[in-house]
Chain A
Amino acid sequence: MINKKVDNISQALKGVTDNMTFMFGGFGLSGIPENAIAQLVKLNIKGLTCISNNAGVDDFGLGLLLQQKQVKKMISSYVGENDEFERQMLSGELDVELIPQGTLAERCRAAQSGFPAIYTPAGYGTEVAEGKETREFDGKMYVLEHAFKADFAFIKAWKGDAAGNLIFKGTARNFNPNMCGAAKVTVVEVEELVPVGTLDPNQIHIPGIFVQRIFQGETYEKRIEQLTVRQRG
Chain B
Amino acid sequence: MLDKNGIAKRIAQEVKDGYYVNLGIGIPTLVANFVREDIEVEFQSENGVLGMGPFPFEGEEDADVINAGKQTITTLPGASFFDSATSFGMIRGQHVDLTILGAMEVSEKGDIANWKIPGKMVKGMGGAMDLVASAENIIVAMMHTNRAGESKLLKNCSLPLTGVGCVKKIVTNMAVIEVTPKGFQLLERAPGVSVEAIISATEGELIIEAEIPEMNV
Q: How far is the CA of A11 from the CA of B147 in the complex (A)?
A: 55
The answer to whether A102 and B55 have CB atoms under 8 Å apart is: no
- Determine the chain A residues whose CB is within 8 A of the CB of B62 once the complex forms: 170
Cβ contacts under 8 Å, A126 to chain B: 129, 160-164
Smallest distance from the beta carbon of B191 to chain A beta carbons, Å?
A: 30
CA distance A105 to B123 in the complex (A): 18
Q: Across the interface, do B63 and A30 meet the contact criterion of CB distance under 8 Å? A: yes
Residues of A within 8 A of B133 (CB): 120-124
> With the chains together, A200 CA to B48 CA distance in Å?
23
Contact assessment for A100 and B72 in the assembled complex, using a CB-CB cutoff below 8 Å? no
Taking CB as reference atom, which chain B residue is nearest A120?
Answer: B92
A121 touches B134 (CB 8 A): yes
B64–A171 contact, CB under 8 A? Answer: yes
B71 contacts chain A at the CB level, 8 A cutoff: yes
A79 contacts B by Cβ under 8 Å: yes
A175 touches B64 (CB 8 A): no
Instruction: Choose among B123, B127, B161 the residue that contacts A100 (Cβ–Cβ < 8 A).
Output: B127
Q: Which of chain A's residues has its CB closest to B60's CB?
A: A229
**Residues of A in contact with B, size category:** 35 or more
CA distance A228 to B88 in the complex (A): 25
- The answer to whether A229 touches B61 (Cβ under 8 A) is yes
Say yes or no: is B178 at the interface (Cβ < 8 Å to chain A).
Answer: no
B162: chain A residues at CB < 8 Å are 126
**Given the complex, which residues of A lie within 8 Å of B58, measured CB to CB?**
229, 231-232
Q: Which residue of A lies closest to B129 (CB)?
A: A100
Residue A169, interface by CB 8 Å: yes
Q: Is A227 positioned at the interface, with any CB of B under 8 Å from its CB? A: yes
Residues in B lying within 8 Å of A, measured CB to CB: 45-49, 54-58, 60-67, 69-73, 81-85, 87-88, 91-92, 111, 121-130, 133-134, 160-165
A residues adjacent to B (C-beta < 8 A): 27-31, 53, 76-80, 86, 90, 98, 100-106, 108-109, 120-128, 158, 168-178, 205, 222-232
Taking A27-B66, A101-B130, A176-B83 as known contacts, 9 extra A-B pairs with beta carbons closer than 8 A to each other, sorted by chain A number, are A100-B125, A100-B129, A120-B130, A122-B130, A128-B125, A171-B49, A173-B82, A229-B57, A229-B60
Instruction: Please list 21 pairs of residues, one from A and one from B, whose beta carbons are closer than 8 Å in the complex, sorted by A's number.
Output: A27-B84, A30-B63, A30-B64, A98-B122, A100-B127, A101-B46, A101-B130, A102-B87, A102-B130, A105-B85, A121-B133, A122-B130, A125-B165, A126-B129, A174-B83, A176-B83, A224-B61, A227-B71, A227-B72, A228-B61, A229-B58
